[in-house]
Structure 1
Amino acid sequence: MPPGSAMQAANASRRATGRSSLFLFFLLCLFCFFSSSESDELPLLLKLKAALQKSDTYVFDSWRPDNTICNFTGISCNSDGSVREIELAKQRLAGFLPLDSICQLQSLEKLSLGSNLLYGTISEDLKNCSRLQYLDLGSNSFTGPLPDLSSLSRLKFLYLNNSGFSGAFPWSSLENMTDLVGLSLGDNPFDNTTSFPLEVLNLVKLDWLYLTNCSLKGKIPAGIGNLTELKNLELSDNYLSGDIPAEIGRLGKLWQLELYNNELAGKFPVGLRNLTSLAFFDASQNHIEGDLSELKYLTTLVSLQLFENELSGEIPDEFGDFKSLVNISLYTNNLIGSIPQKLGSWADFDFVDVSENLLTGPIPPDMCKNGKMQKLLVFQNKLTGGIPMNYANCSSLLRFRVDNNSLSGSVPAGIWGLPNVFVIDFTLNQFDGPITSEIGNAKSLTHLFVGNNRFSGKLPEEISKATSLVAIDMSSNQFSGGIPSKIGELKKLHGLSLQDNMLSGSIPKSLGSCDSLDEINFAGNSLSGQIPSSLGSLPTLNSLNLSHNKLSGKIPSSLSSLRLSLLDLSHNQLTGLIPQSLSIEAYNGSFTGNPGLCTPNVAGFQPCTSDSGMSPVLRILISCFIAGTTVFLVWLAWFFFVKRRQKDHDRSLKVESWNLKSFRALSFTEQEILNSVKQENIIGKGGSGNVYKVVRNNGKELAVKHIWNSEFGDRKTCRSSTAMLTKRKGKASEFDAEVATLSSILHVNVVKLYCSITSEDSNLLVYEYLPNGSLWDRLHTCNEKELDWEKRYEIAVGAAKGLEYLHHGCERPVIHRDVKSSNILLDEFLKPRIADFGLAKIMQTNVGKDTTHVIAGTHGYIAPEYGYTYKVNEKSDVYSFGVVLMELVSRKRPIEAEFGENKDIVNWICSRVTSKQSMMGVVDSSIPEYLKEDAVKVLRIALCCTARLPALRPSMRTVVQMLEDAEPCRLVGIESR
């Protein structure tokens, strides 16, 4: 080999050796780097695992020291092995977040921990996560304020919604986040309402802005038009006022615009038509006026929600040409004209609700063209024409409400037998023709309302096969023939109203099998025969009206066992003795127009003779009994007189000054009550006084509430001046007026008040006694007994009906002021009774001007508006009832340590119900899985009742309807209408 060649070979060899060494050195350095990175970050991740060790998840099974951190579940790494992302959203993580460790991960760009159960405060260590581009802590249960976020200037996505943060949000932190694309801060109880944050208007890259329920006030600034990349803008549930700015029309990429439940006014601005990409628009529950002409250009709309505004004018015909529109809600406005006849004929139309307007013309025929429609709600308008034949095949329908219009013609036969519909309401129209036999196919139907029409023909026997029926109202029609004999097979039936028809024949005995019936009204027909004694076995019957018929025979003695708030048997052909227990003042007028009836107790009726069905022997026995009773009562009076003079009564009861005022026929004496008001008979104590159980001589039981008159609470002070006496008489008069009002309330779900017994320093209210205690006892005390979901549901519906009656059924509304589970008492059948109704008003009547204000409510049940005003109204009761519903669903007390400091059950549940799955987690674990879906329906109603703003809460009448729609195993839509 030539010398030159040898040198070249040697040099080549050295170069190859050098390259090999360099490569080995690089590999060694890379290995050391990876090892160093992993060894530094492994303890940080293990500390995160340890902090969340209580989590109900398997996500941390792979987080082991012998595993590579890049193989940990939810961890993504850079090429150098450092942690780039932590993705653990929706993993049921629970615990306190160790941000001091997390933010030491030097390469961390994404931290996604949303929709978990994390709690505690967010520490200042968050500022050390300065490389973050994505931060999601939303839908958790944090407390306290957020720290300054200015150092997180690289963020592109910031999701902190629905996480319980309070205090003032650090809006100035957003000034450095100019790359933000997604910002979600809604549903947090930030302290102090604030104007729309102007810092947001500089975030020109935003395409998602969620500021719903952030306590924002003032106007929407015109600068919102600068955010031209926005696809989603949600500003609902705030206090925003003024007009919608015209500049919003510059947001041409907008796909969703949510402005509902604010105080916005004015008309839709010119230029809104430019939102040609808009699919979802909701500006409901505001004060927007004017017409809808600016919206007829929004051809890509999928959902349009504008209900409860002040809109006027016509619904644009162009809405009928929208190819993607699947639902539209325009109810409670002032709209006129007709509904576009092509509405819903293109896409998979879901529902229409244009109720409570001034609309005319016919119902559009093709809204169920694709067989997907669930709700047809057009009630309370001026619509004409008939029901289009197409809807007879709309098997997807759940709610069909066309009541209170001017519709006419026969109803297509198939409508009666729709398999999934659970509400049919044709009330107050001009329909004619029959209810056909197809009604037997309506297996889901719960409410059938056809009153005040011109329907005729016989009631079909097949109605007994619609076994889900809860309420039937066929009043004021022209039905003839008999009442179906098998109607008693409707075991769930609560109300049956057939009054003012032309029905004949007898009342079916099978009605006695309808154990849930609380109202029967057959008045104004031609029914004959005897009143079935089986009606007396109905345990919950509250109202029975059989007046203006041709009924004959005797009044069944079994009716005496009923607890009726209304009984009307007038204008029939009844004969014989009126049962003594029915011969009371409360039923005055109930028997008029029956010349064959007799009684010694009711004015205007002949005394009973042997011809009236009473034998001479029986008369002698009765006379002897009356005489003996008189002698006994005289002796008893003398005995108590002597006893009273001999016995030194408790100084709290000044016997000689008691004054009894009865509101019903009483079978007990004043002294019988007074003798039982003593320490050993106390069964309950409250802020208003003690409750005593009175066992009468005949074994019957009563409950007595003892209320002190605070004018005389200080026994050591003598107030005998003329002014004081005048004041006392005035207060007594107010007290008597309030009690008299409450005593007139008769409802199966309201505790009966029999009488008041008053003295100068205290007052006794005598109620019926309920043997099963309170709902609170059943749910929460050491004496708790198991309540299955069906029973809880029945208690919820019954209690709601009681409150509905107080709010809507009385001559003037009675506000309860202290709705809570301990004021819902249960009878021997576990049927609920509202107790202590109006008691706070009585207490306020009973205090002087110099006395501390009486708190209307109980901690945990008090509506939030009570924090800034002491005024209460029906909506305050609705809030408290919502809390009771939450108790029934979760079996949690209104205040529990686990909720956290200054949190109650409403805060606790609202922080968790981010999805249907999370709602299931709130439901009492003792409720079977197959019933939890039904419990969730009631939980949704509870959330409506506990809305922060009173105006957003439904009325108790609506709550009853919603609860009836949520009957167990009954399919209901999201809307409650």
Structure 2
Amino acid sequence: MSETMLLVLLLAFNYLFIAKGETADGDFTTLLSLMDTWKNTPPSWVGADPCDDWDGIKCKNSRVTSITLASTGLAGELSGDIGSLSELETLDLSYNKDLTGPLPQSIGDLKKLSTLILVGCSFNGPIPESIGYLQELLFLSLNSNSFSGQIPHSLGNLSKLYWLDLAENQLEGPIPVSSGSISGLDKLHHAKHFHLGKNNLSGSIPPQLFSSEMALIHVLLERNQLNGNIPPTLGLAQGLEVVRLDSNSLSGPVPSNINNLTNLQDLYLSNNKLLGSLPNLIGMNALSYLDMSNNSFKPLDFPVWFSTLKSLTTLKMEKTQLQGQVPTSFFSLANLQTVVLKDNKINGTLDIGSTYSNQLRLVDLETNSVDSLKQTDGVPNVKIILKDNPICQEIGEVGSYCSTSQSNVSYTTPPNNCQPGTCSSEEQIPSPNCICAYPYTGTLVFRSPFSDLDNRTYYVTLEEYLMQSFRSHSLPVDSVLLSHPTKDSNQYLELSLQVFPSGQDHFNRTGTFSIGFLLSNQTFKPPKVFGPFYFNADKYEHFGNPGSSESSKSSNIRILIGAAVGGSVLLLLSLLAGVYAFRQKRRAEKAIGQSNPFRRWDTTKSSTGIPQLKEAKMFSFEELKKYTKNFSQANDIGSGGFGKVYKGTLPNGQLVAIKRAQKESMQGKIEFKAEIELLSRVHHKNLVSLVGFCFDQGEQILVYEYIPNGTLKDTLSGKSGIRLDWIRRLKVALGTARGLAYLHELANPPIIHRDIKSNNILLDQSLNAKVADFGLSKCMVDCEKDHVTTQVKGTMGYLDPEYYMSQQLTEKSDVYSFGVLMLELISARRPLERGRYIVKQVKNALDKTKGLYGLHEIIDPSIGLESTLSGFDKFVDLTMKCVEECGEDRPKMSDVVREIENILKSAGTNPSDESPSISSSYEEVSRGSSSHPYNSNDSFDLSAGFPYPKVDPK
């Protein structure tokens, strides 16, 4: 037997016959679901026990508590099943640039999650409100993705949060703060880091964002669209060390109490529209980096108090209307490195003096009024720039200070007392210890301004800090190499980082996950001079490279062969037993299958006699249990005589309504199959879509798209808190009519709904109408001429009187019910109320000689009678045609559609337009304590109907 065959047999034996390990069943199933939606999962994800065998997975008491898969090359979306890992404490998927799609709402079910890190992926869509349910969350880092929409108010509920990083996304809208019972970021009293830069946030900075109760040390709001004044409350957060408000549209004066921030090290206010006097910063003795460039301060002589800032390393005051002479004493500040005062009115003589800081490297006074310079020969290490000053405009003046050229900055960690050799592979790189290896690489990005790029002492210190951190966490790191220091357009310092493995030429997956996690969750603390940072890792692709010896592989193969031979006899016996069990199972399944009406269905192919299910899916009962959290009470959104409806979330994040039949109300298998075939044939934007079904373990379940705004009945009654104006009511009527016209004239075979009413019209997120509940519907395939003789079904008040008397059902019966619905849209009254019938009421009150046909007392006041009800008379005329007693006198639904379209056109509205958003289409009033729109008793009463299709054996 060949070595390859033995290996295959051994793997088969392990996979098929060794009992699954200790990982809890639910967690194991969830991990399999994640595997199903991801590409490039670690090769070790094949064993039977994730807790012991799978890279990146850690467990406690057989429950998954940690998933760390940084730099793995994962691709795909994050499955909604992630919410089932109820013991999960850490989730780090950073540096997987092909992870995309929205975050599922179910992420809010991870009640024990303390660390959520998704740095440098490609997630998009809004940040789920449900993240605000994670009460144990300490660390939330979603930076460097493509998230959009507003920052959820619910994040203010994260009372334990320490780190909030949402930078470098596409977030917009205001910074959320609390109002009444609504939380906001001002409630995060324990948070030390607000990193919200490089987004599209707008509005003013809320004053209540800052208070003496806040523990903030970093507030980074740079590169947004913020406007208004800097709130004086900023001076209350006295623990602040870094404040970046640059590159916004902030205006007004800088608050005078800003000098209360005595711990502040970096203050960045440049590129705004700030006015008034330059703030006095006396007492800010920790201030190291100050940039207030490109603002419109009042003209001011160079302030004397600049010389009191003992920790100052960098002063940038470009285009701030500074004037006068820079005092020589200023250059004596011990830590001073960089002075940039371009485009001001500095004049007189520039005198650096003889006691200037030995760290000073740059003095840039380009475009000022300096006319002389002292001691140019005594400052060899300082680059002085005086271009476009009078001194450089004099004839014959050609000093080096009249040029803006600066030396190129370069740094690479030098070899550690060794001579690098030539590596055997082009992809291998010599480490600082001259050992060829495949390093883990990426870019360190420091968000705090950094002045002296050429200061090698800083980089050596950073290297020492990195190695100290790797060693303290027992990571297999031999050395680190830093190179290519540059500043980007945001004044961020970027440094290339290469981390070299210890003891071999490549890292294993655990090593890269651990290094990535240490850098992504900020365990590594750089020297203070570098300030806050984040890391962007590259994909690591050198696991188990040819650098590992062939002899080692051969040895491993021999070990595996020995194990395989030892288990081969047991394997063969097990296979024989398996074949026997399989044949017995097939016999049982064949016997059961004869009574299963779904046995011949193939949802991936079409053939004669097989329903075209299109996107409808056959779900297992176990799947639906998972999607509804075991049909939990929290997901119960309604009930009725048929059964209950549950809200569920599919693995792709789609919300669905799952209607589960009670045992006593289930119909026969053939009838249930027939209804699914009917529902699978109808596909229209104004009909509620069937997503799938379940006929498993004795269950009958239908899965529909979830419609968020509930029923038209709840809206008209005021229960939903939504007000429909006249044009929106016309559009609801049009959408309903289009859905019915499709059923009557385009469905094959045609379908009569038989139960049109306001409780069976659902409103989506843009208030477009969708017809629901086909449980009483009849196909016209077996009709006698143009009608179906059938037992009368429907809802009193909407029921066609002709159908009631003759028991002959036609599509004109739906037209009558639709006419009653139109009257309901006009009046918001129930068809039968206190013995009064709305059709008769309107007929008696109708007077076409009067304005609004004399129906003032019947029209719903919430429509707004102060506005013109365009086309009202034509709409009433159409309504009365629909409720004619004789079916032949009623129009077809296609004629009704055409007439409502004309009414909308005459009102100046395009009938093809749909509302892009709810806010532009309707008014939402206070919902108070109203119940869920699907949980109305009326909505689920058998006599009132059911907003999702009932299964009716007739």
- TM-score between both structures, scaled by the size of structure 2: 0.42
Q: TM-score, normalised by structure 1?
A: 0.41
Asked which structure has the greater RCO (Cα within 8 Å, sep 6+), the reply is 2
